[in-house]
Structure 1
Amino acid sequence: MFLLLGVVLCLAGFGIAAWQINAAENDGAKKNAEQTANSGQPTATPASTKPATRVEGIFRGVITPTKSDTSIPLRDMKPILGNKTPKRPNEERDIIPRTPEIPKELWKNDPVVQSFLGDREIPNPIVSFDGSPTSTAGFAPPDPNGDVGPNHVVTMWNSQFQIFTKTGTSVFGPANINTLFSGFGGACQTENAGDPVVLYDQLADRWFLMQFTAAAAPYFVCVAISTTSDPTGTYTRYAIQTGTSNFPDYPKAGVWSDAYYISTREFPDAGGFAGVGAYAINRTQALAGNPAAQVLSFLAPPTPDESVGDGLLPADLDGTTPPPPGSPNYFVGTQDTNGPYTSPSDAINIWKFTANFAVPASSSFVLANTVPVGAFNSILARCGGTRACIPQLGTTHQIDHLGYRQRPLFRLAYRNFGTHESLVTNQSVSGGTGPAGEVSGIRWWEIRSPNSSPVIFQEGTFSPGVTDGIHRWMGAIAMDGSGNMGMGYSASSPTMNPSIFYTGRLVNDPLGTMPQGEASIMNGTGSATALNRWGDYTSMSIDPTDDCTFWHVNEYYPVTSGTGWRLRVGSFKFPTCGVPTGTLSGNVTNCATSAPISGATVTLAPGGYVGGSIGSGAYTVTAPGGNYTATATKAGWTSGPGATGSVTITNGANTGGANYCLTPAAVLDPTTTPAIPTGNGVVEPNECNSINLPVTNSGTGTATAVSAVLSTTTPNVTITQPNSAYPDIAAGGTQTNTTPFQISTNGSVACFTSISLTLTVTFTGGTSPQVINFNVPVGQAANPNYTFTPSTGNTIPGVPANGVLVTGTQADDAVVNIIAPFAFTVYGTTNVASGATLRVNTNGNMQITSATGSSREANTALPSPGSAGFGAGSFDASTPVLMPYWDDLIMTTARSPLLGIYQQTVGVAPTRQWVVEWRAQHWNGGTAEAGITTNFAIVFNEGSDNFSYYYASTGAGTRTGGAESTIGVQAATTGTLFTQFSFNAASVLQGTRLAAARVAGACAPGTGGCATAAGVEVSGRVLSSAGGRGLRGAVVTLRDESGNEINTMTGAMGNFRFAEVEPGHTYIVTIRNRRFQFAPQVLTINDSVTDLVFTPE
């Protein structure tokens, strides 16, 4: 749903301004219950794709459109222009979820992230043109989208539309969307509320346009369906009421063979969230202009919440092949264990809407499958529970990522390829850590067999920002008729204005990747400075004339401004689309057990055409007709003779029965940080240390007879004990070397650098040897962040009766001045002078600034701007904030005269302590608690950088222990200098002390390296031919990894020998002779080597 700049919108008794993210206070009533509904904890991924219990929508019967007619030609209507739109409740059911507090060991690494751009050059845009300048009317978010027909491109945004030729010539508009309903009467004519969608019905050669009404109940989705292929002609128009008084937020639609399907997020005027509305408009009747076209209506309540999340997308047909007869329409949603709805798994929910217009009561809307997907994090920690998330060039203002909304992004594109059915969609997620911190990426999925046994055929997280620092989000994806994919999206960074990029993959590219590079539809030349709202969705469509050309509609800013965005349309096409092809199909199984293998790749050579196997082991590869060699592979499996074969593909036909098998194999990887069991547990200069290197088997077979040799290329480091065996390592298991390795450093090794170690592992049961690399730090680097050390049995220093009330703190949501009694520092760089003015917040935090500061009560994860919830202001962007117990507290005398913030100074100079103590209650919706239920303090130490938090009482009821608070400290509102001890987790008890200190770097030279091992021998022969005579007079060179070398010459029989060679190093042995050329040999030498043989190449 959109917001008009400067318009304040209301929902369920609370307001939201276009400038703000979360609810504003309404008549002093706070909405803490809404805050607490958003925490989620990770749980195990279910093994089954079937819901544990039946979850189905409530059938609300057959709706007859409240109003319907056939319009005059659109070209004859006078365009309505202007920004005015009715006030409307904001779509947000709740505040933006805070980032969950998840232990690091449980935080999910994205297993399908693509952290690089493909090295292939995706085709440049065919066309790229702007929407009208009047699209800079100031609506936010814009929600730009469009679709393409044989001759036109129709675009919509909040809250206007425009029709173009395919070369960018405008043939109608821009005009307010309610122009479509001129003369219709009612709310569809008088309102212009937005959240529009436009679709092209390729099977009927018609256009479908839609928006909602918003001013007051009853609410409608206003639908206009063209009566011909001409989008400037006449339209059949419908006003479809949504529930009794349910506001139909975020309506999305899909074209299907039997109906036009619509989803909504429905909010009753009485408050709360009713669930997801699902509607099916009888397509046959609508295309015939029937004024009483049947509309089937269901409501899927949020029980459980994760079943509907923040909305479902209906499937939208691409291409001319309809779904199989009787197929339901698919409504898809997502769930994330780190999201706001305590989802049990990272998964895709597939609902099936089966519409029976002959016997409507037999229709159904059922959650049919919950399909596990690769782990992803939709809520970015960098967003801090706000919409200020994505950086832009030339401004500190940040824009919305939208990942906190648990729903896929428009469209859910469907194709029936004959051999299989596919659904593709995407969602903005965390893409991982880039050069300057967390970056946004786009998780995309291809779902196959949606009506039988749905599987994630492939998925990936497109996040080259891990490498180049660019955030990519708000994607839209589709497949062309050949199965190639195109994905368009927004892109921005601190060094780049928000721009419109696209990428893609060919049908034969490696599964789960977008390797076709990246191109630009429009490089932005401005940034947004007013609103955080960027957009809720864009679109990617396929041209029906060739079933190959992708059309993307998105937004950018031509100049830096408040809301001066511009709509942009672009198209591109892969040259391989439309080439005649055939298919190869078969099964991939386990050679030992014949069990099916999922996720194997079958590759055809030449050409590199690939297909992936699904849960049944079945695969399909599409390729041009010809002769190929097919090979099946999968990580953790060995491709033996049964994994390859010769095949012939015929265009337009399927070659079946090409079955292959793989053998289980061990794959060895590093697992944890190397362990140093000697000394202080840290490698330092001029030391001798033992080291243990755990190894994990990520394969499918057991590694037996495991032995390893350790080496290094780091100067001034020697491996003095390089050999060890390992126990057998079962699939999924981890083992440690049975004999510690030994590493020796001399005094020239620099502190705070790292040592590169190479472990060469030989074993039976997989590809051997395997090389595993480790990095070991030299010394313990300083930690610029604070570390909290907890202890129990403590009391707040000082005498409670000596505490002096800080003026103005017996209040609610207040931030007031407090004067520092002595000098101290925070983060080592923020110097607080004696007598300095600081700011203390009644909601449990102290702001090291004399500026206005924040009185906000709505705690978020760190780092935080402090601008969410009630109260006023924000944290100063570049000064520290200490948060002993940031929560919604109250200290009014009406609650108790004992409440307030008190301060006292304890001890004598120069070792005084300053005690700043909160004596508070929780807000708890206005219900008074008994006395002081939350009592805690910050204790500063004179002249020191260290401080402590003390807890005498830690809350009441469900909030005991800080269960709904943020405890930590931050240096600024962005960046990495922050420590979050806990967030919305019960983490402190009565008597707890959290001592905060920053760890200094430590690196002290030792007393000497390891004893030097005796030298070993390296010797052998140089021959004039294989099995021939020895070659006299050849020069033999032995060179180590640092470039040091020694030379010798072969004797009469071709013999050579090096004595006293230092073990524990890697050497290169080379031979020089005028008559013959010899290949060098690389040796890791730990014992004598006496059998080297060199023969000419």
Structure 2
Amino acid sequence: MSVTRTSPRRLGLSLAVCLALMGAQSAWSGEIKPYWSSKSSGPRSEAPIDIPPSEWDLNYSRDLGFRGATGNPYVLGFEAISQYDNAALGRNFIPPDTIGAVGKTQYMATTNGSYAVFDKYTGARQQLWKDTDFWTAAGQIGGTNGDTRVMYNASNQRWIAVAFGANTKDLMVAVSNDSNALGGWKSVKFEGYAGFGFGATADYPTLAMDRNAVYIGTNNFAPLTSGGASNYRGTTLNAIPINSLFNASGPSVANMMQFNTPYNGAGSVDRGFALQGVNSNSASGPGKIVAASAFNYDNVAYTINGLSADSASGATQGDVQYLGVAAFTAPGAGRQPADVAANRRIVSTLDERISSSVYEVNGRIYSVQTVDSTADGLDESRIRYTVIDAQTFAVLAQGDIGEAGYDYYQGSLAVNSQGQVVVGYNRSGLDAATGKISFMARAFATNADGSLSQLGGELLLKESLTNDYHNGSGFGLAAVGRQRWGDYSAVSVDPEDELNFYLIGQYAREYNRPEDGHPGGTGGSRWSTWVAQVNVAQMVPEPETYALFLTGVLLLAFVRRRAD
């Protein structure tokens, strides 16, 4: 296993060139990348064709999980929500849009189709809801079209979830009454994309929080004519004062500010695609947004100025800054060691959008995305991490997590106050012994210069139960249609112990066949989701990087003492 790093010294020269070009690049005009220019009509979730209602499997064995021995950094693992769960509820969709978060005593997971709550210490499931039932109970009649994200706000000890509504131009926000995810929720709905009068979609809503606001970004799509193709129309960033959402009477968007950035072809402003607000515990400074460029192979960052915890009135967007990241192209499909040759490279790795949460800690902003790096000359996807200065947006460090012969995709990360980072991701390849789609993780320490040093080795969290994942056709047949995966994963820090990180990602269950324990099954493969608890205190720095790690720890202690 290898992590290719770019040193801060080499980055300095690259940054000097990038900064010199930045003024011209900020004004650069171009066209949206073709693979982001349109979307199919209707919800993003795509129902498979091989599970008629008469064959939903109501009785299957849930994987109760894994518990590591004392001293093992992989503390606990358990199955969260599976496609079998959702089919039994009549909410069977692809992809799952895997997401989840850890709270005070619980772990909450959501997918397109259902939500679930688990005891975070044992993995025991406490509740499974049909997603429409969850939103109805929270006060939103009419259902949901998915794309849910969920987070836990430790300061307010409450949960928050976002999804788009039955009308796909609408966004719904739900906030729990307290730290118990089973203790009731209240919600609010608003128009996320006014757009056109028909077929508008506030797609791919993101979710982030700092001390002043909650940030929800959307990619906007709408057809030019009724029934026509749904084309990209730009983005919207919704900045909602945090006190408007976390209050006793229920969430409100009365003081929200919406920033609409329309796309009208060449000459449009590039504020990125799949806007990610930066999660931060800092009580001062502007809000920040990071995203992959909508027009070229780079990332962008900018500020949201003038926000307070009570009002977004008068807030403004700062200028877009291109980061000048290492060269990359869009990733191709992921490989797997399928028995059917046609299925050996079909798994969608999505694209280079920053699909998971972005975090600011100790003056640095951390993000990951899936890329095809041009540095290694291989046609394989990699997890690219990027660390930037939170004030200047200068790149401090970046590196690609990957190894020849394998694709790495669907990454996510979280960072604790000590600058310890855990990255979760999928890996797959053609090797029959090790190539099944696997959910894996690595941990890193942040050094004084912002570079990352790996802690311990790579962790295998869950291996798929089949070597040939595909939906839309049966066992032993060639895949039919786009093989959706993801579209995201998540890592979160335990609010009760920041050395514990909880990760959620996707893996493949066994085929829905009688010989695999599913009487009446039609022979299709099924996705599932896996939650893992990792403790970084048990992960020892690699010998060659221990000195850098120790220097970073000492410097952090010095800074904290000066701050006190």
Q: Report 1:523-922 matches (<5 A).
A: 523-526=463-466, 527-530=468-471, 531-560=482-511, 562-575=524-537, 608-610=547-549, 621-623=552-554, 652-653=560-561
**Residue by residue, what CA displacement relative to the aligned partner does 1:23-52 show, whole Å, maximum 9, x if unpaired?**
xxxxxxxxxxxxxxxxxxxxx974347544
Aligned to 2:438: 499
Aligned to 2:61: none
Shift of 1:305: 5.9
CA contact (8 A) 1:148 1:200 kept: yes
Tell me which amino acid in the other structure corresponds to 1:298: F
Shift of 1:517: 1.7
Distance in 1 (alpha carbons) for counterparts of 2:251 and 2:376: 55
CA contact (8 A) 1:554 1:569 kept: yes
Tell me which amino acid in the other structure corresponds to 1:295: M
Shift of 1:282: 2.1
CA contact (8 A) 2:427 2:437 kept: yes
Distance in 2 (alpha carbons) for counterparts of 1:304 and 1:232: 48
Aligned to 2:143: 191
Distance in 2 (alpha carbons) for counterparts of 1:180 and 1:429: 35
Tell me which amino acid in the other structure corresponds to 1:204: N
- Whether 2:165 is the aligned partner of 1:225: answer no
CA contact (8 A) 2:272 2:299 kept: no
Tell me which amino acid in the other structure corresponds to 1:294: N
- Whether 2:379 is the aligned partner of 1:407: answer no
Distance in 2 (alpha carbons) for counterparts of 1:446 and 1:498: 27
Aligned to 2:383: 442
Residues 140, 508 of structure 1: CA spacing in aligned structure 2 closer, same or farther, 3 A cutoff? Answer: same
Distance in 1 (alpha carbons) for counterparts of 2:137 and 2:544: 63
Residues 315, 392 of structure 1: CA spacing in aligned structure 2 closer, same or farther, 3 A cutoff? Answer: farther
Aligned to 1:212: 164
Shift of 1:393: 3.7
Out of 144, 150, 154, the residue aligned to residue 98 of structure 2 is 144
Aligned to 2:462: 522
**Residue by residue, what CA displacement relative to the aligned partner does 1:440-467 show, whole Å, maximum 9, x if unpaired?**
211111112x2x3222111101112x2x
CA contact (8 A) 2:414 2:491 kept: yes
Give the secondary structure class of the aligned counterpart of 1:608: helix
CA contact (8 A) 1:145 1:553 kept: yes
Give the secondary structure class of the aligned counterpart of 1:181: helix
Residues 549, 363 of structure 1: CA spacing in aligned structure 2 closer, same or farther, 3 A cutoff? Answer: same
Out of 203, 215, 222, the residue aligned to residue 261 of structure 1 is 215
Tell me which amino acid in the other structure corresponds to 1:316: N
Aligned to 2:194: 244
Shift of 1:315: 1.2
Out of 360, 372, 375, the residue aligned to residue 430 of structure 1 is 372
**Residue by residue, what CA displacement relative to the aligned partner does 1:858-877 show, whole Å, maximum 9, x if unpaired?**
xxxxxxxxxxxxxxxxxxxx
Residues 456, 233 of structure 1: CA spacing in aligned structure 2 closer, same or farther, 3 A cutoff? Answer: same
CA contact (8 A) 1:259 1:282 kept: yes
CA contact (8 A) 1:136 1:566 kept: no
Runs of at least 5 residues in structure 1 that lack an aligned partner in the other structure? 1-43, 57-85, 93-121, 580-603, 612-619, 626-648, 656-1097
Tell me which amino acid in the other structure corresponds to 2:144: N
Shift of 1:475: 0.5
Aligned to 2:521: none
Out of 465, 472, 475, the residue aligned to residue 408 of structure 2 is 472
Give the secondary structure class of the aligned counterpart of 1:178: helix
Tell me which amino acid in the other structure corresponds to 1:423: I
- Whether 2:290 is the aligned partner of 1:332: answer yes
Give the secondary structure class of the aligned counterpart of 2:383: strand
Shift of 1:310: 2.9
CA contact (8 A) 2:81 2:109 kept: no
Shift of 1:265: 0.4
Shift of 1:162: 0.2
CA contact (8 A) 2:22 2:322 kept: yes
Residues 199, 51 of structure 1: CA spacing in aligned structure 2 closer, same or farther, 3 A cutoff? Answer: farther
Aligned to 2:31: none
Distance in 2 (alpha carbons) for counterparts of 1:199 and 1:529: 30
Distance in 1 (alpha carbons) for counterparts of 2:215 and 2:560: 33
Aligned to 1:297: 258
Aligned to 1:130: 79
Give the secondary structure class of the aligned counterpart of 1:609: helix
Tell me which amino acid in the other structure corresponds to 2:222: P
Aligned to 1:372: 324
Q: Among the aligned pairs, what percent are the same residue?
A: 19
Distance in 1 (alpha carbons) for counterparts of 2:283 and 2:375: 43
**Residue by residue, what CA displacement relative to the aligned partner does 1:1027-1050 show, whole Å, maximum 9, x if unpaired?**
xxxxxxxxxxxxxxxxxxxxxxxx
Distance in 2 (alpha carbons) for counterparts of 1:461 and 1:607: 20
Residues 234, 136 of structure 1: CA spacing in aligned structure 2 closer, same or farther, 3 A cutoff? Answer: closer
Residues 323, 408 of structure 1: CA spacing in aligned structure 2 closer, same or farther, 3 A cutoff? Answer: same
Tell me which amino acid in the other structure corresponds to 1:608: A
CA contact (8 A) 1:502 1:519 kept: yes
Distance in 1 (alpha carbons) for counterparts of 2:154 and 2:267: 36
Distance in 2 (alpha carbons) for counterparts of 1:172 and 1:193: 21
Tell me which amino acid in the other structure corresponds to 1:254: A
Tell me which amino acid in the other structure corresponds to 1:280: A
**Residue by residue, what CA displacement relative to the aligned partner does 1:705-734 show, whole Å, maximum 9, x if unpaired?**
xxxxxxxxxxxxxxxxxxxxxxxxxxxxxx
Residues 455, 606 of structure 1: CA spacing in aligned structure 2 closer, same or farther, 3 A cutoff? Answer: closer
Give the secondary structure class of the aligned counterpart of 1:485: strand
CA contact (8 A) 1:221 1:241 kept: yes
Out of 218, 229, 235, the residue aligned to residue 276 of structure 1 is 235
Distance in 2 (alpha carbons) for counterparts of 1:128 and 1:333: 31
Runs of at least 5 residues in structure 2 that lack an aligned partner in the other structure? 1-15, 29-39, 47-70, 225-229, 472-481, 513-523
**Residue by residue, what CA displacement relative to the aligned partner does 1:115-144 show, whole Å, maximum 9, x if unpaired?**
xxxxxxx95411100024444534211111
Distance in 1 (alpha carbons) for counterparts of 2:24 and 2:559: 44
CA contact (8 A) 1:261 1:280 kept: yes
Tell me which amino acid in the other structure corresponds to 1:273: Y
Distance in 2 (alpha carbons) for counterparts of 1:285 and 1:578: 43
CA contact (8 A) 1:249 1:266 kept: yes
Distance in 2 (alpha carbons) for counterparts of 1:568 and 1:146: 10
CA contact (8 A) 2:74 2:534 kept: yes
In our comparison, the structure showing a higher alpha carbon Rg is 1
CA contact (8 A) 1:196 1:209 kept: yes
Residues 518, 257 of structure 1: CA spacing in aligned structure 2 closer, same or farther, 3 A cutoff? Answer: same
Residues 395, 556 of structure 1: CA spacing in aligned structure 2 closer, same or farther, 3 A cutoff? Answer: farther
Aligned to 1:307: 270
Residues 568, 305 of structure 1: CA spacing in aligned structure 2 closer, same or farther, 3 A cutoff? Answer: farther
Residues 508, 516 of structure 1: CA spacing in aligned structure 2 closer, same or farther, 3 A cutoff? Answer: farther
How does the TM-score come out when normalised to structure 2?
0.74
- Whether 2:135 is the aligned partner of 1:172: answer no
CA contact (8 A) 1:279 1:295 kept: yes
Distance in 1 (alpha carbons) for counterparts of 2:220 and 2:23: 23
Give the secondary structure class of the aligned counterpart of 1:438: coil
Task: Give the aligned CA root-mean-square deviation in angstroms.
Answer: 3.6
